[in-house]
Amino acid sequence: MTVVAPVDCCFQELQFALARANAKVLATTNLTEKRAMRVMKKRLQDRLYQRKHRAKREEKANTTSRQLQHLNGSLSDHARSVVMQFFRVYQNGYSLQLAGLQEQFLRSILAADVEGVDLRGADAFVQQWRLYGQHFALCELEPQVWKTQNIGDQSVMVEVEV
At 53-97, the pLDDT tens digits run: 999 999 999 999 999 888 877 777 787 788 888 888 878 777 778
Q: Compute CA 157 distance to the chain's CA centroid, rounded to the nearest angstrom.
A: 16
> Number of structural domains, the chain?
2
Q: Which residue has the higher pLDDT, 134 or 50?
A: 50
Question: Is residue 97 assigned to a domain?
Answer: yes
Question: Is residue 54 assigned to a domain?
Answer: yes
Question: Is residue 89 assigned to a domain?
Answer: yes
Last residue of a domain, one of 63, 86, 104: 63
Question: Is residue 68 assigned to a domain?
Answer: no
* Three-class secondary structure assignment of 106-120: HHHHCCCCCECCCCE
HSE-up (13 A, CA, CB side) for residue 159: 7
- Based on the domain organization, do 44 and 88 belong to the same domain? no
Question: Is residue 100 assigned to a domain?
Answer: yes
Question: Is residue 87 assigned to a domain?
Answer: yes
HSE-up (13 A, CA, CB side) for residue 29: 0
pLDDT (0 to 100) of residue 63: 93
Q: Look up residue 5 and give its DSSP letter.
A: P
Please check whether residue 50 is in contact with residue 14, taking contact to mean a CB–CB distance below 8 angstroms: no
**Domain range for 110:** 76-161
- Based on the domain organization, do 110 and 134 belong to the same domain? yes
Which of 39-53, 82-96, 126-140 is most confident?
39-53
pTM above 0.95, yes or no: no
- Based on the domain organization, do 58 and 115 belong to the same domain? no
Share of the chain above pLDDT 90, in %: 11
- Based on the domain organization, do 97 and 154 belong to the same domain? yes
Which residues are 155's β-sheet partners?
151
Query: Is residue 3 pLDDT above 60, yes or no?
Result: no
Question: Is residue 38 assigned to a domain?
Answer: yes
What b-and-e string marks burial along 85-97, b requiring 16 or more CB atoms within 10 Å of the CB? ebeebbeeebeee
Question: Is residue 91 assigned to a domain?
Answer: yes
